[in-house]
């Protein structure tokens, strides 16, 4: 009987480790600039960085775009969906207060959900500073909060993807 409990606990432990690994490595507000820079440098067109706040439903996603060789950058698009509508207006106000240019767009593949989009171009540092501001001012994230980051559709090697 004891061995059955031991096996069950081992299986539970393995499942928890797998679920934790899917979220990506743990970071803090002070250490997420590097993954943002990695997205800009190593991301392919459409690559994205998901920043998930531990023990919260809040997250942000940055996407890399490549329009043509050497014309690439990072954008943040925040949806005006049922779960995010309260934050949508706050983000507009934060952009206006910080004098951050944004556009409101309907994405073709999103069933007419509007998005607030901010194009940071090649300025990963500006992107980091504004993501940090959103986390602190809008989501009320503590500076020591655990953030999980996941970089998808990016080169493994430290090479510039710009076309």
Global pTM value: 0.82
Q: How far is CA 119 from CA 62, 91, 95, 127, in A?
A: 10, 14, 12, 9
Coil, helix or strand at residue 117: strand
Q: How far is CA 122 from CA 7, 35, 68, 128, 141, in A?
A: 50, 14, 14, 12, 26
Straight-line distance from the first to the last Cα atom of the chain, in angstroms, rounded to the nearest whole number: 60
The per-residue pLDDT string of the chain (163 residues; one tens digit each, 9 = 90 and over) reads 655 655 655 555 555 445 444 457 789 999 999 999 999 999 999 999 999 999 888 899 999 999 999 999 999 999 998 888 889 999 999 999 999 999 998 766 656 789 999 999 999 999 999 999 999 999 999 988 999 999 999 999 999 999 9
- Positive/negative CA dihedral, 71, 91, 88, 29: positive
């Amino acid at each position: 009987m004891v061995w059955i409990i031991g096996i069950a606990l081992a299986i539970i432990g393995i499942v928890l480790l797998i679920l934790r690994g899917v979220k990506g490595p743990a970071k803090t507000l002070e250490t997420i600039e590097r993954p943002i820079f990695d997205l800009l440098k190593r991301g392919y067109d459409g690559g994205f960085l998901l920043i998930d706040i531990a023990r919260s439903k809040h997250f942000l996603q940055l996407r890399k775009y490549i329009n043509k060789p050497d014309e690439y950058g990072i954008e943040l698009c925040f949806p005006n969906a049922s779960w995010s509508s309260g934050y949508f207006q706050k983000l507009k106000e934060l952009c206006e207060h910080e004098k951050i240019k944004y556009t409101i767009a309907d994405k073709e593949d999103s069933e007419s959900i509007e998005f607030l989009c901010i194009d940071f171009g090649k300025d990963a540092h500006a992107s980091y500073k504004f993501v940090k501001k959103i986390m602190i001012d809008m989501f009320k994230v503590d500076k020591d909060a655990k953030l999980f980051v996941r970089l998808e559709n990016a080169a493994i090697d430290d090479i510039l993807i710009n076309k």
